[in-house]
Amino acid sequence: MAQKIVQLIIGRLLTDEELRLEFVARPRETLAALRERGFDLTPWEIDALVETDPELWAAVAPLIDPRLQRCSLKACKFEA
């Protein structure tokens, strides 16, 4: 069961821009929030995700087809 949760979180980090930006800025807090929402992560899995090179997420995400991506409007800067 735990491996499925890890795979789900990795998938979300690669396809959900808002989650990815939040995770890169505050990895432990982001994973703690996911645990509170029912994602059953062990301390070992949290450490492994946090210790993964943060550049990986930004480097791999653009390789995912845009139709599978969830774009964050928070990341966009609108000019009036």
Residue 38 has which token pair? 């029912």
What pLDDT is recorded for position 73? 53
Residue with tokens 């930004």: 58
- Give the range of the structural domain holding residue 25, as residue numbers without chain letter: 2-68
Number of domains within the chain: 1
What is the arithmetic mean of pLDDT over 54-76?
Answer: 79
| Within a domain: 17 | yes
DSSP secondary structure string for all residues of 57-72: HHHHGGGS-GGG-B--
pTM of the model: 0.80
Please give the average per-residue pLDDT across 41-65, as a whole number.
Answer: 93
Distance CA 65, CA 61 (A): 9
Q: Write the burial class of residue 17 (CB in 10 Å: 0-12 exposed, 13-18 middle, 19+ buried).
A: buried
The answer as to whether 79 is a domain residue is: no
